[in-house]
Structure 1
Amino acid sequence: MTALQPWQQSGQSVMRASHADRERAVDVLKAAYAEGRLNKPEYEQRMGRAYSAATYGELNMLVADLPQGPVPGQFVGPVAPVPATFLPPPPRPTNSYALASLICGIAVPFTGVSAIPAVILGHLAKSQLRTSNEEGDGLATAGLVLGWLGIAFGVAIVLLMVGMVAAVSTP
């Protein structure tokens, strides 16, 4: 009985290799050749063996003496900070009055009384947004529209009720 080679001792060494596994090994060989770690005859020999390899063990033998990624400690020294010109601008904060106006506007059908705060907060938000560097113009506009619609609907209901009372009380 022969002694097992180090690459044969693990259970993975006899596992069948896929086409993707062979391509990964070929990529390592190509990089090693481009970096000057392999000469042309050795590169060609290993490439042929890589494409005919059937197991992980065979592929591991071909690339075991080659680095398979960035060499540790290769990039030594301080890392230069990225200039601010290339960084995206920081996100602008959202105006809290605009958000509150939208929330009050959405709540109008459920509460009925939040229409007036929606309109007031929407106008406050619009006023602040003219001078600040905040976002939320669309939120404030939506809150204003929903608030004014709620007020108009409330006034229409009151007028309808008054009209009905007047119609019932007239003989």
Structure 2
Amino acid sequence: MAVQPWGDQGHGMAKPPASMPPVPGMPPAAPPHMAPSHAAMQQSAMRAATADRERTVDVLKAAFAEGRLSAAEYGDRFDAASTAQTYGQLARLVADLPSGPMVAPQMMAPPMAGPVAVPVPPTFLAPPPARRTNAVAVTSLVLGLLCVPTGGLLGVPAVIAGHIGRKQAAERNEEGDGMAVTGIVFGWLSIAFWALIFTMVVMFG
């Protein structure tokens, strides 16, 4: 009588679930001289979960898509994976296929390799939204430019609006500081012009 791989029943070891019937195209079990260790037998006899069966089916699908399995072999192994109860039964179904999702309990998983550098795709950042232009600064610019055709009569309003516009633009993070400065410059030139005219009238009037 052949010795079962899970040991003698008389030594108190529980018999694992019955092995699956042979599946056509599936690799045969290991010969007696290559029998797995006690720990490996315990791992193979552990109950498989639905997620383990699904991972095994994923490996079979990949092998079928790559032409490693015929349609008949894929169908037979797919049916066997759907009804497999242990990790050992699932492992036999993918033993002759390239490594894919591991069919092993997490508690017995092999040590993980070192971290693998994964290239990160470049991130395309959207340009920042355009800042608003302060309305008072625009007003100061317009008043300053109108000082020339109006003879400098709008100089004082241009200066006042320019200082207010610069302050608001800084507090609200808005554009328009340059416009406000231009309005202030034209405003002060107009004020200086009228001051000069007034001085000349007083001195020579």
TM-score range, shorter chain: 0.3 to 0.5
- Greater share of residues in helix: 1
Q: What TM-score, normalized to structure 1?
A: 0.46
TM-score, normalisation: structure 2:
0.38
